[in-house]
Amino acid sequence: MKELSFLSFAVATGRVGVVFLDRGRLRHWQMSITASKDAKKASNFADTLIRDYCPNVVVTQKLNEKCRKGPKSQQLIAVIVEKATQHPVLDVAVERPRRYDNKYLEAEALVARFPELTPWQPKREKCWDREPRHTVIFEALAMAEAAMLGPTEQLAAALG
């Protein structure tokens, strides 16, 4: 599936992260605080990126009983999914991959594969510190990889 392009969205409290992978190469990443404010802003954010990057696949987190997101985050994910269905792309929902003991180890592994993200690699200072804001970018990247490298059933299900 590395021949396809993937635009992956991750939502966390107060931020939306996105990555664009084209043929397995990381081409774009960003975090938006504005897109996390309300459904209209999230919809506009997703619409703009989908139009600008013309991905083959839009990846979001699967909203099921395993999803740990709060109600507002789930609402924003649903809005992004709805916007994706209005474009000629495959909409793939994946469960949030949890291959590492924590987000910091996951980010370290992802930086090893995508060194251009080194400046954004989150570092945990103290256990009581807030989660670094850029972790949402790594969450989006982990989901993009799960869709890209995962079982083809996910993409086949998106095809109908």
- Full pLDDT tens readout for the chain, 160 residues: 668 999 999 999 899 999 999 999 999 999 999 999 999 999 999 999 999 999 999 999 988 877 778 779 889 999 999 999 999 999 999 988 888 888 889 999 999 999 999 999 988 777 766 777 889 999 999 999 999 887 655 555 555 5
The number of folded domains in the chain is 1
Per-residue confidence (pLDDT) for residue 3, from 0 to 100 = 84
Q: Which residues pair with 20 in a beta bridge?
A: 7, 28
Distance between CA atoms of residues 9 and 151, nearest Å: 19
Inter-residue contact 122 to 115 (CB < 8 Å): no
CATH number at residue 71: 3.30.420.10
Provide the pLDDT for residue 156: 58
Whether pTM exceeds 0.85:
yes
Domain that holds residue 51: 5-159
How many Cβ atoms are within 10 Å of 127's Cβ, its own excluded? 5
> Any bridge partners for residue 15, and if so which?
12
CA gap 8, 146 in Å, rounded? 10
